[in-house]
Amino acid sequence: PGLAVYDPGFVNTASCRSSVTYIDGEQGILEYRGYPIEQLAEKSSFLEVAYLLIKGQLPTKAEYDAWVHEITYHTFVHENVKGFMHGFRYDAHPMGMLMASVGALSTFYPDARNINDADNRHMQIVRMIAKMPTLGAWSFRHAQGKPFVYPDNDLGYTANFLSMLFKMSEQKFEADERLVRALDVLFILHADHEQNCSTNAVRSVGSSQVDPYSAVAAGVAALYGPLHGGANEAVLRMLKRIGKKENIPDFMQGVKDGNERLMGFGHRVYKNYDPRAKIIKKACDDVFEVTGVNPLLEIAQELEKIALEDEYFVKRKLYPNVDFYSGLIYEAFQFPPEMFTVLFAIGRTPGWLAQWLELVQDKEQKIARPKQIYTGDRTLDFVPASERW
């Protein structure tokens, strides 16, 4: 008591013990439950990775089939959610809509408040993983003034999401398999990243023992911020502004002079190539094979080549991060920039829930309540307004 360590941004404070995700920023290593991200991205699926994060181990065939079945069964949302979403302004940001509608789900499932019951927790986790793509797709359709598309449960998780986004007629919408796989891989890459800002928000709010929909709504809110989920959008804007390769030297000089940052480069934890950026670079090739090459790719590759050899970036250990190439892929899918963070949120949902589950089962956890260093006045004498004025 009385002793406080000043650590703004919790740069040196471990707020929990966790067995979900391991990161070694110096080596560029990322593992979920001990499995390297490279192997999961190459050989697993998003729903299997979601199971791994939540349950702590890989599923048997029977467990996996039951998991996929449950999630598929819960993709629909209550019809009143539709009315609720229609109530937003025509130009509402899809992240604002997602945040509000995930939070609103807590009112549709009041049983979610019973967080001490394991079966009940499982139910809410399944519901949320299942319904996030529906809410995300509907927030996108709303912004475009298009009717909402109901889930098509004959399709897999990611294919179904694409159908709800892009279906334009009564005909079944089946996206190219290579695009479905690329988006599934992007979801895997975003599925968890230990105690980042939004996960910390989920844990902090969850520590009050609120229901998980409210806790995840807090995660979506944190992700909405430009310093967290919004960087890929900034990369795209930067590449468009540079416009052509000939403009790169001038741009780089401006970065080195401290006028602006090379967006999509550098990371608080990674002081080496972000392992997710390597995988995304490869996914770019797969997507562009279907959609045609995004002309901004050439500029991005040239920027990367120059930066990796430039003393300024080498000395500061600045490498491409997950956001450097992801925006290019999202644009190839024809997502508007406001949707990029919604995609991040859908991918991150299993991670948020795995961390929430760990929190509520951890007997050592307490309500999040950091100390402060008080810098204000003390013990002033209050003079009533009638005597001061």
Minimum CB–partner distance for residue 129 and ligand CMC (Å): 21
Which lies closer to ligand CMC via its Cβ, residue 99 or residue 159? 99
Which lies closer to ligand CMC via its Cβ, residue 179 or residue 329? 329
Whether 211 is a known active-site residue: answer no
Residues sharing a CB contact under 8 Å with residue 115, sequence separation 6 or more, in sequence order: 121, 209, 211, 212, 360
Minimum CB–partner distance for residue 189 and ligand CMC (Å): 11
For the CA atoms of 82, 146, 189, 48, what is the dihedral angle to 10 degrees? 50
Q: Please, where are the H alpha helices in 191-230?
A: 197-206, 212-224
Which of 142, 211, 267, 274 is the catalytic position?
A: 267
Minimum CB–partner distance for residue 96 and ligand CMC (Å): 19
Which lies closer to ligand CMC via its Cβ, residue 44 or residue 326? 326
Which of 323, 362, 377, 381 is the catalytic position?
A: 323
Select the residue whose beta carbon is closest to ligand CMC and give its number.
Answer: 266
Minimum CB–partner distance for residue 223 and ligand CMC (Å): 8
Which lies closer to ligand CMC via its Cβ, residue 179 or residue 280? 280
d(Cα 343, Cα 191) in Å, to the nearest integer? 11
d(Cα 275, Cα 42) in Å, to the nearest integer? 13
- H-helix or E-strand spanning residue 19: none
Q: Quick one: CA dihedral 39, 40, 45, 48, positive or negative? A: positive
Minimum CB–partner distance for residue 226 and ligand CMC (Å): 9
Structure tokens at 60: 């048997």
Give the footprint of ligand CMC on this chain (CB under 6 A).
196, 228, 231, 255, 261-268, 316, 318, 321-323
d(Cα 187, Cα 49) in Å, to the nearest integer? 9
Which lies closer to ligand CMC via its Cβ, residue 283 or residue 322? 322
Whether 176 is a known active-site residue: answer no
Residue whose C-alpha is closest to residue 80's, from 103, 98, 100, 105: 105
Q: Quick one: CA dihedral 26, 188, 266, 230, positive or negative? A: negative
Report, as residue numbers or ranges, the catalytic residues: 267, 323
